[in-house]
Amino acid sequence: MQLDATDCRILRVLQKQGRVTNAELAEQVNLSPSACHRRVQRLEADGIIAEYVALLDLKRIGRPTVVYVEIKLSGQSDDILDAFEREIRRVPDVLECHLMAGSADYLLKIIAADTEDFARIHRRYLSRLPGVVQMQSSFALRTVLKTTAVDI
């Protein structure tokens, strides 16, 4: 699907202000409310807008520690990859899991209350994941840039 300039304006606003009313959105992108609503519905139906979410402040919910974990597996067979992916979906503290090219097979983004909480996550979940032969954890010291908005 080709996005025109109006679609891009709509997407830019929605990425920053997901709870904007249709009337406010229409005004910001210079459309009538009905035309704006039809465009948003089309963007949703076409899967351009995948979902709407509330982004939480990790400090305020008591889980400010972000840890990136590189995982190396014992092999790359479908059975090993499938078993790992099935189990990693059950770990409640994992925000992201990416199959990687390069030295690590997977890269995880995990949140924790502190280093002690991460040690609990490691003992209870990570150390029991199937096929894992090596893990390397890196703690984020400070977030310099964080966004969910894609440049459109």
**Looking at the structure, do residues 78 and 108 belong to the same domain, yes or no?**
yes
Looking up residue 26, the CATH number of its domain turns out to be 1.10.10.10
Query: pLDDT tens digit string along 83-136?
Result: 999 999 999 999 999 999 999 999 999 999 999 999 999 999 999 999 999 999
| Strands lying side by side in the sheet with 132-139 | 94-99, 106-112, 65-73, 132-139
Single pTM value for the model: 0.90
Q: Which helix (H) or strand (E) holds 97?
A: strand 94-99
Per-residue confidence (pLDDT) for residue 62, from 0 to 100: 97
Per-residue confidence (pLDDT) for residue 1, from 0 to 100: 78
Query: pLDDT tens digit string along 7-24?
Result: 999 999 999 999 999 999
CA-to-CA distance for 56 and 61, rounded, in angstroms? 8
The identity of residue 15, as a single letter, is: Q
Query: pLDDT tens digit string along 27-70?
Result: 999 999 999 999 999 999 999 999 999 999 999 999 999 999 99
**Looking at the structure, do residues 135 and 69 belong to the same domain, yes or no?**
yes
For the chain, how many structural domains are there in total?
Answer: 2
Q: Which helix (H) or strand (E) holds 16?
A: helix 5-16
Looking up residue 112, the CATH number of its domain turns out to be 3.30.70.920
Q: What domain range is 112 assigned to?
A: 65-139
Q: 107 forms bridges with which residues in the sheet?
A: 70, 98
CA-to-CA distance for 126 and 64, rounded, in angstroms? 19
